[in-house]
Every structure is written in C-alpha cells, then in structure tokens.
Amino acid sequence: MDPISLLEKDHREAKKLFQEYEGLGEAALQKKQAIFDAVSTALMIHMTIEEEIFYPAVKSVRSKEMKDEVREADEEHHVAKMLISELKKLKPGDEQFDAKVTVLRENIEHHIEEEEGELFPNSRRLLGRERLEQLGSEMEDRKSELTDAYA
C-alpha cells in the first residue's frame, strides 16, 4: 500500500466529518458529540502513524527542507492534540465547544494543505517506491492496531 494514499484517505475522512459537523444545528448536541468523538479518534490514529512511522522516514532522507517540513507538521499536531484534549473536557452545549471545533478544523485543513502540497510530493520523490511500499505496510499494520485499541 502507498502510505501517502493512506494518509490522504484519512485527510478526506477528517474533512468529511468536519463538514458533517458544520451542517448541524445548535440542538443536535448528541450528533455533535458523536462526530467529535469520531474525528478526534481518527485524527489521533492518523497523527500517531505519521509521528511513529512516516515522519521519521521522511527525516531520514537528510534534507534540511524535509526536516523543516516535518518539524512544522509536528507542531501542528501538537496544537491539534491540545485542542482535542480541551474539547474532551467540554460538552457540545458549552459556550466554547463549537468555536474550538472550528479552530481544530482550520488547523487540520491548513495542515492537510501543507502536507499534500509540499511534504507528500517531496516524500514521494525522495523516498522512492520501494521504501514507500514498506512504510505503507508498516503504517497499515499500526493503524489497524490503533483502531482496535480505540474501539
């Protein structure tokens, strides 16, 4: 499996969940909670496989540009994790909940644009097909483990 395709699929799933959340009215509190739970789990799994497997492989190519891209991506993950942590302490009816979900969505959308516009194309070029296939297998296995653990 191509790891970049796997990550891009995750990106589409997160965007879809955020769009679904945005379409909900103020009274749909249970549905908002369910969607937040789904998107936060998906994001945590996604960030874990990137941080444990994909980013270290990208950094290993010894390109300053790639290392800088990964450092920035790590910081974007840090912000997303803080927001998720704060949201887990709130309920959808709380005053700040929708605003924090919006900030999380904006952070994730920015992150996706940078990964898909810069990091992924550069990774594909520098890592090579064989290494990418190996990473894809590792990432798929780890994603399965994490999905089972979150279930």
In terms of residue numbers, what domain contains 44?
Answer: 3-150
Whole-model pTM?
A: 0.95
Give which of 73, 70, 6, 71 is closest to 42, Cα–Cα.
6
pLDDT digit string (tens) for 15-58? 999 999 998 987 799 999 999 999 999 999 999 999 999 999 99
pLDDT digit string (tens) for 112-151? 999 999 999 999 999 999 999 999 999 999 999 999 998 7
Give the pLDDT of residue 63: 84
Give the pLDDT of residue 151: 78
Structure tokens given for 5? 């395709």
The CA-based angle 28-105-4, given to 5 degrees, is 125
Alpha carbons 109 and 132: distance in angstroms, whole number: 24
**Number of domains forming the structure of the chain:** 1
